[in-house]
Amino acid sequence: MHTFKSVFKHRFGPLAVLALILFSLSFATRLTLLIISWSNLELSVFRLLGLFIIGLFYDLVVCSFFAIPVALYCWLMKDSWYQKKWQRLPLFLLFFIITLILVVNVGGEIIFWGEFDVRYNFIAVDYLIYTTEVIGNILESYNVPLIAAFVGLATAAILFLVRKNYSNRSR
């Protein structure tokens, strides 16, 4: 366990933290959608494993996308600066933005699944094209302030847990 935590304390440890956050949220999303749809599925063990293995591949692609700004930050930050307390703020802001995007995506996927019984597809692209109508429908159909509060709390909770358990400072 000590060796595992030492990975997170390394200069490029934030990349491991990012991967942990992203893979956890993606796994939770996949598991939630599986549970929601359980009664409609005809799954074998191989198909069930396939869902999670293919999902892991997609998660690796998404993680590589979100890792770019974190890797650039860790790479460009001098070692002497990285040890300073002030550098926590930009790194925290970066993680806050990324985690917020991921949490919004989880909520969006679950709501989208509830409406259309599929993950994001061409309908989601139509949502992006006809933004004005979609935003109007969302504001009429959902309690947006409550959802925004939940997303903010979930993001803060994730970052609090990560900071508490995998701080990049030695204890």
Q: Please give the residue range of the domain that contains residue 103.
A: 2-165
Residue 54 lies in a domain: yes
CB 109 within 8 A of CB 33: yes
pTM of the model: 0.85
Residue 171 lies in a domain: no
Question: Burial level of 52, CB count in 10 A (0-12/13-18/19+)?
Answer: middle
Distance of CA 105 to the CA centre of its chain: 7
Give 122 or 1, the one with higher predicted confidence: 122
Q: What's the total number of domains in the chain?
A: 1
What distances in angstroms separate CA 143 from CA 36, 43, 49, 59, 150, one per listed residue? 21, 35, 36, 30, 11
Residue 151 lies in a domain: yes
pLDDT tens per residue across span 140-158: 999 999 999 999 999 999 9
Residue 170 lies in a domain: no
| Amino acid making up residue 62 | V
Percentages helix, strand, coil for the chain (3-state, rounded to 5) are 85, 0, 15
pLDDT tens per residue across span 17-35: 999 999 999 999 999 999 9
CB 159 within 8 A of CB 25: no
Average pLDDT over residues 96-114: 94
The answer to whether residue 170 scores a pLDDT higher than 50 is no
Residue 21 lies in a domain: yes
User: For residue 78, what pLDDT is reported?
Assistant: 76
Q: Give the separation between CA 40 and CA 129, rounded to whole angstroms.
A: 31
Q: Give the separation between CA 142 and CA 154, rounded to whole angstroms.
A: 18
Average pLDDT over residues 160-170: 71
Instruction: Output the CA angle 28-30-36, nearest 5 degrees.
Output: 100
Residue 135 lies in a domain: yes
Q: Give the separation between CA 107 and CA 52, rounded to whole angstroms.
A: 19
Element (H, E) at 86: none
Which residue's structure tokens are 């790194």? 91
The answer to whether residue 171 scores a pLDDT higher than 50 is no
pLDDT tens per residue across span 31-73: 999 999 988 888 889 989 998 999 999 999 999 999 999 999 9
Residue 38 lies in a domain: yes
User: For residue 130, what pLDDT is reported?
Assistant: 82
Residue 129 lies in a domain: yes
